[in-house]
Amino acid sequence: MYQLYSFPFSQHSRRVISLLEQAGIEYENHQVDMINGEHMQAAYLAINPNHQVPTLIDSGTKIHESNAILRYLCIKHELSQWYPQQPDLLARVEQWLDWTQCQLSPLVIAIVLNRVFLGDDGDKQAADEAAMKIQSRFGIMESYLAGTQFLAGDTPTIADLALASSVFQLSLADASPQTPNILRWYQAVEALPGFQKSLPKT
């Protein structure tokens, strides 16, 4: 059985849990107490020297990066509906996985970390600057989603799970996008049972 190390308020953890749950793949979830620094302790650093979550262990295979985990699971379990191999669809999935990680995630982290998790110690200026910059990313999303139901066509893929996990993360800071195409798309992803099971219990 897969061993997953995660944290419920990590968008990167939740996207992996969404896929595992949606695909009905058995796994054992070990929650890493990042609030109290468990991710910096020797026991966890031996599992993931990057002191990040998630980590997936499959017997002798250990994977640290969330999008790599998503791809691995899709390939191993032949989840072609979540990771299509048709070149044009695959290109869209890969593009949006990279876009989410490179263009959106740094801004999401800057906003949520500084406004929510660091409390009075947060860098308000850094959060405000990221909140301004992210508006152009929302514009890209809104424009693109005007012409498609999901990121790669008519059905959701791992790209949707990845991007939606970041949109939910922004809601923790009351900073999620509110434009109609994004809302329509997000509500469709949010309704997936696997996505629902990934959400933190509050």
Q: Which amino acid is at 159?
A: A
pTM: 0.97
* Assigned CATH for 87-196: 1.20.1050.10
135, 111 contact by CB (below 8 A)? no
The class (CATH top level) of 2-76 is alpha beta
User: What's residue 202's pLDDT?
Assistant: 66
Low-confidence ranges of the chain (pLDDT < 70): 202
Domains of the chain, by residue range, sit at 2-76, 87-196
Question: In this predicted model, what pLDDT tens digit does every residue of 7-56 receive, in sequence order?
Answer: 999 999 999 999 999 999 999 999 999 989 899 899 999 999 999 999 99
DSSP character string of 103-167: IIHHHHHHHHIIIIISGGGS-HHHHHHHHHHHHHHHHHHHHHHTT-SBTTBSS--HHHHHHHHHH
Q: Which two tokens stand for residue 125?
A: 């200026």
